[in-house]
Amino acid sequence: MDRNLFIGREYEIRQLEKYRNSKESEFIIVYGRRRVGKTFLVKEFFDDTYDFRVTGLYKKPKKMQLKNFYLALLEYGADVKKVPSDWLEAFAELKKLLKSIKEKRKKIVFIDELPWLDNRQSEFLGAFESFWNGWGAQQNDIMLVVCGSATTWITKKILSDKGGLFNRAARRIYLMPFTLQETERYLVSRGIRWSRYDIAECYMTMGGIPYYLKLLDNELSYLANIDAVFFKRKGPLWDEFDHLYETLFGTSKGYLKIIEALATKKSGLTRKEIIDETHLEDNGLFTEMLKNLSDSQFVRAYNTFGYNEKNVVYQLADYFTLFYLRFMKGKQNPDENFWTHYLDNPAKSSWAGQTFEQVCKGHILQVKKAIGISALLTDISSWQGTSEGGKAQIDLIIDRRDRTTNICEIKFSMGEYTIDKDYEERLRKKVQVFREATKSRKALQLVMITTYGVRQNTHSGIVQSEVTLDDLFE
C-alpha cells in the first residue's frame, strides 16, 4: 500500500491494519454515500490483491448475478464446473476455494456493492449468513470485506439485523466525505492551488466527495471548472442527482419529497412541518426515511435549544443536493457558462450563506478549537422563539458545561464583514430575546463565524469571539 496515495483516511487505514493483523477471522463493512471512495480505499489498502473479489451488478437478475459470481470464482482459480444454481451453492464453492489455499495467512475476500446481489426472492442474504456464521466466523484466517453505497440496505439488513448477522459485523467503517482541510490537500496533490475562498465555494457545490473533486481540471479556474463539470451539456455531473438517490435509497420518491421540502427552508423543518409540506403518511415508513436520510448525513437533525428530542429540526445538509436543487433542477438547456455569469447574482449570495452555515456545522470541531473550547463537553442546537422583545432565530448554539452559551452568527462574504449600527442593534436584540424566552442564566457570548473576519470599528465590540475560514481549514 502506498500511503502517499491517500488524503485523510488515516483512522480507517489503522483500523484495516489492525483487523488484518488480528488472530481471528474478521467481517468488515465499509459503507458510505456514492462516490466517497469506499472501493478505492479497499483496493489501495490491499494493493488490489485478493483471494476472491466480486462486484454486484446494479439492478440485474439473480441469474446474471450468479453467473458473475461464477466467473469471479474461475478468475481466482476455483475448480467449478458450472454456474451455481443458487446462492447456497455459490458460497459453498467460495468456501471450497478458500479452503484450498494452504498458506498460513489471512485470506482476503472482497465483495463490492454487496446490496446489489440481494435481488427480490434471490435468497442471497440467508446464504451469505450461512457462509459467514456457519463457517467463516469459525476460522481464524478469513478477512471478509464488503462495501456498499446503499446505506439503507446495509443498516437495515446487517447493522440493525436482529437475526443471523446480529452483532456479527463488529467491524464497521463509515467513510466520511473529506473535510475542508482534506479537500485542500487533495486539490494540491492534483496540482490545483486555489484560494481558500474558492476552495470553500467548490466545497459548497461538491462537498468533500473525492470522485467529484477528481473531475476538476488544474488548468481551469474555479468558476470555469464548475461550469465544465455541472453546466456543460452532458457534463460529468449533469445527471448525478438521480443516480445518487436511487443507488442510496432504492425507491427514492418519498426521499426526494423530503429533501425538496427541506431545501426550501433554510432554518429547517420539524417532523410535522415536513409531513404538512410533503403530504406523506405519518407512519413507520416516514420515520425510517428520516432516519435513513440522517444516517446517510444528507439531513442534519438538531434538537431545539431547551427542548427534548421530540422537538427535532431537520435541515438539508448535503452540499451537492443543495446546489443541484437551487441551480440545476429543471434546466434542460442551461448556459454553459452559467456559474461564471452568475458571479454577482443575489440568488448565489443567498445560496452561499445558507450552505456556509451547513459547512460550519459540519466543522464544529474546528469551530470549538478556534474559540478555545475543544476539551469542553458541549451540546449543539438551533433555536427560534419570541419574547416581549420580539422574535429571533439562532442557527447555531454551542451550549457549554462551563455555564456559558455561545450564540453563533454565520456570514459568508468576499471580504471582512462590517457590523454597522443597525446590525449591532439586531444582534443585541437577538441575545436579549434568547435570554428572555429561554430564561437562561448562563453567560451568553456572541461568536461571529465569517470568511475573512470582522472589520474592527465602533460596533464590532459586541463580538466576543471570532472564527474565520482559515480556522475551518484546521
**CATH code linked to domain 363-472:** 3.40.1350
Percent of the chain with pLDDT over 90: 76
**Residue range 199-218, pLDDT digits in tens:** 999 999 999 999 999 999 99
pLDDT band at 157; cut points 50, 70, 90: confident
**Residue range 166-199, pLDDT digits in tens:** 555 568 899 999 999 999 999 999 999 999 999 9
Q: Give the integer Cα–Cα distance in Å for 180 and 311.
A: 30
The grid cell for 419 is 457590523
Architecture of domain 3-174: 3-Layer(aba) Sandwich (3.40)
Residue by residue, DSSP assigns 228-255 as IIIISTT-TTTTHHHHHHHHHHSS-HHH
Q: Where are the domains of the chain?
A: 3-174, 180-238+328-358, 241-327, 363-472
**Residue range 65-109, pLDDT digits in tens:** 999 999 999 999 999 999 999 999 999 999 999 999 999 999 999
Q: Which class for 424: exposed (0-12), middle (13-18), buried (19 or more C-beta within 10 A)?
A: middle
Q: Which class for 416: exposed (0-12), middle (13-18), buried (19 or more C-beta within 10 A)?
A: middle
Is residue 224 pLDDT above 70, yes or no?
A: yes
How much is the pLDDT for 307? 64
Evaluate whether the domain defined by 241-327 bears CATH number 1.10.10.10. yes
Q: Give the integer Cα–Cα distance in Å for 248 and 241.
A: 11
Is residue 164 pLDDT above 80, yes or no?
A: no
**Residue range 45-71, pLDDT digits in tens:** 999 999 999 999 988 999 999 999 999
One-letter amino acid at 19 equals Y
How much is the pLDDT for 286? 93
Helix (H, G, I), strand (E, B), or coil: what is residue 210?
A: helix
Is residue 359 pLDDT above 80, yes or no?
A: yes
Give the sign of the dihedral formed by CA 157, CA 179, CA 111, CA 139: negative
Mean pLDDT lowest among 148-157, 238-247, 407-416: 148-157
Strand 26-31, strand 142-148: pairing: parallel
Asked if residue 408 lies in contact with residue 367, where contact means CB atoms within 8 angstroms, the answer is yes
**Residue range 295-329, pLDDT digits in tens:** 888 999 888 887 656 678 999 999 999 999 999 99
Is residue 149 pLDDT above 90, yes or no?
A: no
Q: Give the integer Cα–Cα distance in Å for 172 and 295.
A: 14
By C-alpha distance, which of 314, 42, 291 is closest to 151? 291
Query: Number of C-alpha atoms within 13 angstroms, CB side, residue 197?
Result: 12
